[in-house]
Amino acid sequence: MQPDQARYVRDLFIPVVESEFETTLRLIAAIPEESKGYRPDPKARSAFELAWHIAGSEIWLMDGILNGGFVPAQDRLPSEVETVADVLEWYDENFRDRWKKLKSLSAEHLSKTMPFGVSDYPAIAYLSFLTRHTAHHRGQLSTYLRPMGTKVPSIYGGTADEPWDG
The span from the CA of 109 to the CA of 22, in Å, is 26
Mean pLDDT of the chain: 92
Architecture of the domain made up of 3-148: Up-down Bundle (1.20)
Kindly give the confidence (pLDDT) of every residue in the chain, 166 residues in length, as a single tens digit, with 9 standing for 90 and above: 999 999 999 999 999 999 999 999 999 999 999 999 999 999 999 999 999 999 999 999 999 999 998 888 776 777 789 999 999 999 999 999 999 999 999 999 999 999 887 789 999 999 999 999 999 999 999 999 999 999 999 988 888 888 887 6
Largest CA distance in the chain: 50
What is residue 164's predicted lDDT score, i.e. its pLDDT? 82
pLDDT in tens, 53-71: 999 999 999 999 999 988 8
Please state the length of the chain: 166
Give burial (CB, 10 Å; 0-12/13-18/19+) of 41.
exposed
Q: Exposed e or buried b for every residue in 121-152, given b needs 16+ CB within 10 A?
A: ebbbbbbeebbebbeebbeebeebbeebebeb
- Paired with 119 in beta bridges are 116
What is residue 166's predicted lDDT score, i.e. its pLDDT? 60
